[in-house]
């Protein structure tokens, strides 16, 4: 009726053993992802018009109308169509867009 867990099960928790490692590591990864890994756009950043923490091609084109698609694609390292905080920081460091 009930399945016995083996000692090697990383999700098993007993009073004597304390917290299992896998859920604690997973919680740390989730919190790190939610916090942006330490990188986040400033709430007053003029490039992020909708304040979602990412800069889309349309948002960047509103500020930099002469920006071409190829230039944006070169800054978008992962190709998801938006610049995340790390990509935006890299573009600013490379001098492709102005700093804020």
* Predicted TM-score (pTM) above 0.95: no
Whether 69 shows a pLDDT value over 80: the answer reads: yes
> Which pLDDT score is estimated for 48?
85
Among the ranges given (10-19, 76-85, 90-99), the one the predictor scored with the smallest mean pLDDT: 10-19
Candidates 1.10.238.10, 1.10.10.10, 3.30.1360.70, 1.20.1250.20; CATH matching 39-100? 1.10.238.10
Taking only the tens place, the pLDDT of each residue in 1-58 is: 555 555 566 566 555 555 555 665 556 656 555 555 445 556 667 888 888 888 999 9
Q: Are 68 and 97 in contact (CB under 8 A)?
A: no
**3 state DSSP class of 27:** helix
Angstrom distance (rounded) from CA 61 to CA 97: 11
Give the Cβ contact number of residue 71 at 10 Å.
16
């Amino acid at each position: 009726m009930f399945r016995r867990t083996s000692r090697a099960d990383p999700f098993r928790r007993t009073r004597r053993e304390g917290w299992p490692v896998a859920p604690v590591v997973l919680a740390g990864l989730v919190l790190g992802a939610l916090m942006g890994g330490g990188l986040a756009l400033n709430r007053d950043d003029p490039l992020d018009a909708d304040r979602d923490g990412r800069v889309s091609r349309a948002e960047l084109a509103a500020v930099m109308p002469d920006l071409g698609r190829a230039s944006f694609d070169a800054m978008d390292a992962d190709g998801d169509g938006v610049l995340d905080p790390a990509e935006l920081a890299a573009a600013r460091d490379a001098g492709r867009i102005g700093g804020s």
